[in-house]
Amino acid sequence: MEREEVIEKVIAVIRDVMDVAQVEIDEDTEMQEDLSIDSLDFYSLLGALESNFHIRMPEKELANTETVGDVADAVMRRVEK
């Protein structure tokens, strides 16, 4: 799976989980600063990413991400395993 494809899919998952359809999101969008992700959103996003990409991701790995691009990179590391 190509990185751009993963980024697009991650953005779609974020839009669905966070209900931010009107917010401009790209790979440089910051999860906390721009999207105001809270702990409930975090766990919902983690579950949705695991479900959509058919992966298992440790909470710590997602917690260490700052941008949408970081999330996509974390997903790619899991997809490649």
DSSP string of 7-57, one letter each residue: HHHHHHHHHHHHT-TTS---TT-BTTTTT---HHHHHHHHHHHHHHHT---
The pLDDT of residue 44: 95
Over residues 4-44, the pLDDT tens digits come to 999 999 999 999 998 887 889 999 999 999 999 988 999 99
Nearest-angstrom CA–CA distance, 75 and 27: 13
Token pair of 80 as six digits: 């490649």
pTM, full prediction? 0.92
Over residues 42-63, the pLDDT tens digits come to 999 999 999 999 999 999 999 9
